[in-house]
Structure 1
């Protein structure tokens, strides 16, 4: 379907009624930004689109929804400037913008409520936003300026904040451009708290500490870029520093925990008794409670290092391999109705054998991501019998091993994520040339054997532009695989490299959650 098709005038006059509607700042609430200067040209991407975003025009509840609103569609949160430019300047027979008489353009007449507008008044009549839009229209609606800089980054002030319950403070958000210019965009940014019960933030960037002590992160978004401010609200009262200095330290994790508790003003609990420690260690590590004999033996032991020795002994037990293999089987979720019972059992056996052999985690991941061969002989290959589409495999791999959720990016940018469709499909391209050869009737529905191999053909295209995308990592750099090489090997090297902090952070967070009942980051596979 042609997304840029002309719209009859009468349909448009009604359809544009919701233009510039949705969530955003009340009319007149925006502080005047320093960009653009009155004598400067007006940029579509740097000036016009931030207004549309700040006023809520391209929100999911308005014109940013999948089919737009009343015949007028914008890309969600402005992530497709080309589409938005065409929607404003070429659709509806040019009625939305009228360069011969800019003040008669429906874009400003509706937004200022001079004409009836379903979204209400979104910009102040004769205010700075309207003047910016009118100057852009009067100049012929240029797509780009000759010397237009690029938005490179967004930064917030402060980046860390210590508050008391009931305190408030206004954030400042600045956009940094390629020409060195720094612009205050506080009033045209969007904000979100990951723990609004601890710290809330309004749509002007005002941070408000709640009554509950704790820690929260405020995210500020401007034109697809994100910056954060970490806020700490400690418990009232002072805890003597000597108390923390005297705490036992068995490893660097203890140092980090005591430091965090001290910053929050939390007094550590006393060590638990032997019987509770024993029960907790057994359940967490091998998935069962200790027997009466094991309880008596442990409580009677007077060795100073008996707790560390217990943990080491539990990790050597076969129950440990089975217990943690069950967890990974749940994460990988092989579907016996798609892959057959024999392939499912081989998959399960490969996972259990990996734990029994104490296989290094990076090796476990590399073998899985690059698996090939028969699903009846190499259980890891069952992953590619169960997950058959490149985008499906890419979504699973990124979430499990990187803590990056790409589901939203398949269709659009998420409001508080940095991943878009180009990231999604470039990452999926690593799996575009996975070949399969089945035996038996109608694989994969049958339980027959299937051979997974490196194919020679297969590409992934961007769904909007049709551009064939080369395989690319989500961040950082990875070597480009040779044309005749299995692309998955380059991906596996990048995932497990020492430079990839997501890889180690997500597994540490997952184990912490299994042991403590809650991850350092929740959800455990969402390290945005």
Structure 2
């Protein structure tokens, strides 16, 4: 327009009947004035329109919202957004985000006529009140990009635009010295072969911040503790990792590791890892420590005084291996491991039915009595059909009644994947999204039910689970019907009447799927060693790597080679030198809590404590509604009343499985052991161990040794005997009361309560 704007305005204002047109023209003139006053920013900063196309929402704008935390959970990415402005969590839904910014609330968040006055910019720069604070300034590149995008027409990507393919970190992973800094660079690669440096646009997280921390710009800082760390970089649903180690500064000669004893491949792989960190393992534990450890870890009960004596007198160099075999063949084995799996599978009996819960418990105990291979164990659960009163495995389908519910359990227990997040959005720490989750869930779309269903708080009826002739799962956003699809690998061809769960079980347990064996051995390793090679045990992902990848891989391969035999895997671990290390640290491994350079102590399981007290006192615990001889490990429901079991962390009966127990010590536990009437009454019972010892003709030292062997699983040493014997010969001593006091003191000590 060559005519000056003020002349046009003057002409229009003289035409009274055209006042509306005059107002419209005024708006147009204002826009023209703003365009004339502002510099043109139609392309990415620093490039010409010939070499750099206009900005696009998915390629250029969403990464800014993610990097600045706008679509994070605490901000606009949370459910229902923040103050009326809602974005998809971490930008998993571009359509929703574009509409929320450009179209919703009549487009009030953008001002095309005056882009610099858009709420999207004025709030983020602090020009207007903003609960999220200032996210950038007008001088920042992010501000200029947003301003340019608004000015150029808020364009979106088209089918011909390149898409993000992958991201890579550089430099190559290497070890860091204590206190050393390192800058990471993250490069994005697109479908047209182009690349872009997105370092400043990534979100970063360290899995061991005390070892190596990372800031918002990808700057790493090694701490002073030796160990390993993996840094996650996330950019627009893509994840890359960068792993490093911070070894101890004092070098240890290789000969030291070559001299260490080895029982099997476990020890060699552990020693190799320790050598990279300049850490030496602790000394071996004693025979009595080893035997107590094996009994409690393998079958959940204390060895008797007689068993300890026989083990100490056994001169066979291979006695440990032989005793492990004998322990694993004891009947307590099935109850102990069924009890562990009940935490992961057992529902609330008042929700699914008492008889149904009992049926599942019976199925678990039978599986471990038969030493059912783990792949068959998983298969029978995942493909279960029939009556809830006759096939306990189907109980998991009575409790989890929709495909998405059962998918979260199966993926967590048998694949080590916590996919709950992917139900609603892209997993923040994984590559899986909604299509992956609901493709997995489609395997359970044909699960059908006959019966009255659930009717809490009673739910007493029988129900039949079967494979229906049809069933489907739809994508929650697109509405697309998704076929059954595993997370990776080939998609099985299914006949119309075939149960998709069978294909899932085939894929899950196939030798080509290493995830199944890895999560199984990792869970079992954690039960024995106190911490998993991957921790948490059911969270296997690239951003939570194993502390010893070769060890996890070798154990998984060994588990497959022995036919998924749990007892053979247990025997291999229990007879390793690594398992038999002392818990006492040395100068090199004091700070190590992930690499198995020493034994990590752990508190006894609630049922183990209860049964141990019964064995020690010679008086069984009483559970309401159950025979007087019932042991805690035999309970089929967590609703059996017991203050001790509650205090020591058995699952809440109203908590949905899988349940991971808290292992921390609490004041409640200490007070319960000291003051509970049911413990005191069994210690002082006329038919108990204390009364029998006091009434016997055994001398004081023999009694002391009996108590130490029974409670601590070791003989009393000379200093302990010397300190206690005078108490028995004191004037007016009540022999029985003295023995009772001694037993009470010992069961209230850490040596009883913790597995060393």
- What is the TM-score of this pair, normalised by structure 1? 0.88
Aligned residue runs from structure 1 range 360-439, under 5 A? 360-438=373-451
Query: Is the Cα–Cα contact under 8 Å of residues 64 and 77 in structure 1 kept in the other structure?
Result: yes
Aligned to 1:244: 257
Query: Which one of the candidate residues 296, 308, 316 is aligned to 2:321?
Result: 308
Verify: 1:72 aligned to 2:85, yes or no: yes
Partner of 2:168, secondary structure, is strand
Deviation of residue 443 (structure 1)?
8.9
Aligned to 2:220: 207
Deviation of residue 192 (structure 1)?
0.8
Q: State the aligned residue count.
A: 497
Verify: 1:292 aligned to 2:305, yes or no: yes
Q: C-alpha separation between the residues in 2 aligned to 1:269 and 1:332? A: 37
Query: Is the Cα–Cα contact under 8 Å of residues 346 and 361 in structure 2 kept in the other structure?
Result: no
Q: 1:386 to 1:73 in 2, by over 3 A?
A: closer
Deviations 1:21-80, CA, capped at 9 Å, x for gaps: xxxxxxxxxxx9999996323221111111111122212222212122222211111110
Deviation of residue 114 (structure 1)?
5.0
Q: C-alpha separation between the residues in 2 aligned to 1:196 and 1:36? A: 43
Q: 1:304 to 1:175 in 2, by over 3 A?
A: same
Deviations 1:467-510, CA, capped at 9 Å, x for gaps: 32222223333314332211111111111111222211111111
Q: Structure 2: state its 5+ residue gaps.
A: 1-44, 542-756
Larger displacement relative to structure 2 (63-72 or 272-281): 63-72
Query: Is the Cα–Cα contact under 8 Å of residues 33 and 185 in structure 1 kept in the other structure?
Result: no
Aligned to 1:47: 60
Partner of 1:229, secondary structure, is strand
Q: C-alpha separation between the residues in 2 aligned to 1:335 and 1:229? A: 42
Aligned to 1:88: 101
Q: 1:99 to 1:259 in 2, by over 3 A?
A: same
Query: Which one of the candidate residues 505, 524, 529 is aligned to 1:516?
Result: 529
Q: C-alpha separation between the residues in 2 aligned to 1:110 and 1:143? A: 23
Query: Which one of the candidate residues 56, 61, 65 is aligned to 2:69?
Result: 56
Deviations 1:200-243, CA, capped at 9 Å, x for gaps: 11111111112222112111111111111112112231112111
Q: C-alpha separation between the residues in 1 aligned to 2:107 and 2:54? A: 22
Q: C-alpha separation between the residues in 1 aligned to 2:220 and 2:47? A: 23
Q: C-alpha separation between the residues in 1 aligned to 2:278 and 2:352? A: 53
Aligned to 1:20: none
Query: Is the Cα–Cα contact under 8 Å of residues 207 and 231 in structure 2 kept in the other structure?
Result: yes
Larger displacement relative to structure 2 (183-192 or 382-391): 382-391
Deviation of residue 322 (structure 1)?
1.6
- What is the TM-score of this pair, normalised by structure 2? 0.62
Relative contact order, higher structure (CA 8 A, sep 6+): 2
Q: C-alpha separation between the residues in 2 aligned to 1:344 and 1:117? A: 52
Aligned to 1:17: none
Query: Is the Cα–Cα contact under 8 Å of residues 33 and 184 in structure 1 kept in the other structure?
Result: no
Aligned to 2:285: 272
Aligned to 1:495: 508
Aligned residue runs from structure 1 range 119-268, under 5 A? 119-145=132-158, 147-158=160-171, 160-268=173-281
Aligned to 1:24: none
Larger displacement relative to structure 2 (129-138 or 495-504): 129-138
Higher share in helix: 2
Query: Is the Cα–Cα contact under 8 Å of residues 157 and 171 in structure 1 kept in the other structure?
Result: yes
Partner of 1:509, secondary structure, is helix
Deviation of residue 294 (structure 1)?
1.5
Query: Is the Cα–Cα contact under 8 Å of residues 352 and 399 in structure 2 kept in the other structure?
Result: yes
CA RMSD of aligned residues (A): 2.4
Query: Is the Cα–Cα contact under 8 Å of residues 346 and 360 in structure 2 kept in the other structure?
Result: no
Partner of 1:111, secondary structure, is coil
Deviation of residue 514 (structure 1)?
0.5
Q: Structure 1: state its 5+ residue gaps.
A: 1-31
Larger displacement relative to structure 2 (360-369 or 136-145): 136-145
